[in-house]
């Protein structure tokens, strides 16, 4: 049969007509579904614990369904201190039998900084360190003279002037290759030697010569090295002694915990790496000795809800004494949180974290006393999803005083 005869046979007969009819039916069904979604009545939830529990589960399910993501764990602390956690999706695409639970262990990225902040302030409160110690008095760091006046306090509060990271033409390759081949994007900084070498480049030396408020992973990495110099202890031991044991955390450590492999979440592509299909398994990027205090903690939602409860208690007490009242820009950090306005005009302290394969989020609504946690095993922009949950909760809990009333919210 020649080409034209074959084409004619494909475009005629009952088989072809069935295909066309099927395609039209699928298209019509899709358009109807989109129209129904656009015109549907918003879900209503009672202003009760049961209502928020359903809202939280719907939020988690909606996220997985609408974004084609792998897994999410979301937690809420309510105005009356009740705690709820919902999960949706999978723990690991390579191991479908591994269950996703509140005790699944994730790399938490920059939520590490909140724990480091609490550790440092407790060391200062108990007289074990002086926050105003300059780096020139920290033996073994071997930094250029521009760093001499920078203090532990400057590093803790992100006001050393150091950039978030520092990439030059000579060390940009890990970033490019990470987008393509899943290599370690933090390769230049994840060792002590690599971090100190980066801090000695012209960009960083110029930055600390003119200190200013500026969010910095490099600064928090250097903070860890300074703490070890001052105390004579390694950071993982300090965290264990000062935070993990006193707070009763069970599944928290620098790096993946040993002996708990059956509870460690897989890490997957999302918005990043850019050239990868969504939901593909990627390597987890442990930050190593150089940047572990910037984002090297692994933990479970159960443990991080304990941490969130501590943070919430302190910030609400601070807000009662001196209200947080001015939203700040990206480089203005309140104790490792950004102060933002929610869609309803509530003052929210938010903190987000992201490394290759995961994303994390804390949020505290100062006006309703609601606090949320989100852990995900896709590398997505975490603040968008977190702000979505805060906005949904505002519909049910518009203010702390109305909590518990039976009227539904739209």
Q: How many CA atoms lie within 13 A of 94 on its CB side?
A: 11
Local confidence band at 19 (pLDDT 50, 70, 90 cut-offs): very low
Chain-centroid distance of CA 150 in Å reads: 28
CA distance 348 to 338: 8
Give, in order, the Cα–Cα distances in Å from 129 to each of 124, 139, 226, 393. Answer: 5, 14, 11, 40
Prior bond of 273 cis (ω within 30°): yes
H/E stretch holding 114:
helix 111-125
| Token pair of 408 as six digits | 């539904």
Closest CA to 389 of 102, 55, 103: 55
Say which residues have a Cβ less than 8 Å from residue 327's Cβ, sequence separation at least 6.
339, 340, 341, 347
Q: Give the model confidence (pLDDT) of 88-143 as tens digits.
A: 999 999 999 999 999 999 999 999 999 999 999 999 999 999 999 999 999 999 99
Say which residues have a Cβ less than 8 Å from residue 174's Cβ, sequence separation at least 6.
183, 184, 185, 186, 187, 188
| Token pair of 281 as six digits | 């398994």
Region label for 255, one of left (φ > 0), alpha (ψ between -120 and 50) or beta (otherwise): left
Q: What is the mean pLDDT of the chain?
A: 85
What residues does 297 pair with on adjacent strands? 254
Say which residues have a Cβ less than 8 Å from residue 39's Cβ, sequence separation at least 6.
none
| Token pair of 215 as six digits | 């969010």
Q: Give the model confidence (pLDDT) of 156-209 as tens digits.
A: 999 999 999 887 666 666 666 666 666 677 777 789 999 999 999 999 999 999
Candidates 3.40.710.10, 3.90.1170.50, 3.40.50.620, 3.40.50.1100; CATH matching 47-409: 3.40.710.10
Burial of 163 (0-12, 13-18, 19+ CB in 10 A): middle
**SS3 state at 259:** coil
Chain-centroid distance of CA 123 in Å reads: 25
Q: Give the model confidence (pLDDT) of 329-377 as tens digits.
A: 555 667 788 899 988 899 999 999 988 889 999 999 999 999 999 999 9
Q: Kindly state the greatest CA–CA separation across the chain.
A: 91
Say which residues have a Cβ less than 8 Å from residue 272's Cβ, sequence separation at least 6.
179, 354, 356, 379, 380
CA distance 138 to 142: 9
Q: Which phi and psi (to 5°) does residue 75 adopt? A: -130, 150
Q: What is the pLDDT of residue 18?
A: 39
Closest CA to 91 of 275, 297, 249, 260: 260
CA distance 208 to 382: 29
The pTM of the full predicted model, rounded to 2 decimals, is 0.85
CA distance 246 to 126: 14
User: Is residue 17 pLDDT above 60, yes or no?
Assistant: no
CA distance 176 to 179: 5
């Amino acid at each position: 049969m020649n080409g034209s005869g074959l084409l004619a046979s494909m475009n005629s007969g009952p088989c072809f007509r069935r295909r066309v009819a099927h395609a039209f039916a699928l298209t019509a069904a899709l358009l109807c579904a989109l129209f129904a979604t656009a015109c549907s009545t918003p879900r209503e939830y009672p202003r009760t614990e049961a209502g928020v529990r359903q809202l939280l589960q719907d939020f988690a399910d909606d996220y997985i369904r609408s974004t084609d993501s792998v897994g999410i764990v979301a937690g809420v602390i309510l105005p009356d201190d009740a705690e709820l956690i919902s999960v949706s999706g999978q723990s690991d695409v390579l191991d479908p039998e591994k269950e996703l639970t509140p005790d699944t262990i994730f790399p938490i990225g920059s939520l590490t900084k909140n724990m480091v902040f609490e550790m440092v302030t407790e060391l200062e409160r108990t007289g074990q360190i002086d926050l105003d110690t300059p780096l020139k008095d920290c033996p073994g760091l071997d930094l250029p003279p521009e760093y001499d006046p920078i203090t532990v306090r400057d590093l803790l509060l992100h006001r050393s002037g150091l950039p978030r990271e520092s990439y030059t033409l000579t060390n940009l390759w890990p970033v490019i290759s990470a987008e393509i081949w899943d290599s370690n994007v933090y390769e230049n900084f994840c060792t002590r030697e690599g971090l100190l070498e980066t801090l000695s480049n012209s960009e960083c030396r110029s930055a600390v010569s003119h200190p200013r408020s500026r969010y910095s992973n490099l600064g928090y990495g250097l903070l860890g090295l300074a703490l070890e110099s001052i105390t004579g202890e390694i950071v993982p031991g300090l965290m264990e002694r000062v935070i993990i044991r006193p707070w009763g955390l069970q599944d928290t450590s620098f790096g993946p915990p040993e002996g708990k492999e059956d509870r460690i979440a897989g890490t997957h592509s999302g918005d990043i790496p850019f050239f990868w299909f969504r939901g593909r398994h990627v390597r987890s990027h442990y930050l190593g000795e150089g940047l572990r205090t910037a984002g090297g903690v692994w933990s479970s939602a159960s443990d991080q809800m304990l941490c969130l409860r501590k943070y919430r208690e302190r910030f609400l007490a601070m807000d009662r004494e001196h209200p947080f009242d001015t939203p700040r820009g990206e480089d203005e950090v309140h104790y490792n949180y950004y102060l933002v306005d929610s869609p309803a005009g509530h003052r929210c302290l938010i903190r987000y974290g992201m490394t290759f394969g995961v994303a994390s989020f804390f949020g505290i609504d100062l006006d309703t006393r609601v606090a949320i946690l989100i852990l995900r095993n896709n590398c997505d922009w975490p603040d968008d999803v977190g702000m979505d949950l805060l906005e949904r909760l505002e519909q049910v809990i518009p203010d702390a005083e109305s909590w518990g009333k039976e009227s539904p919210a739209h």
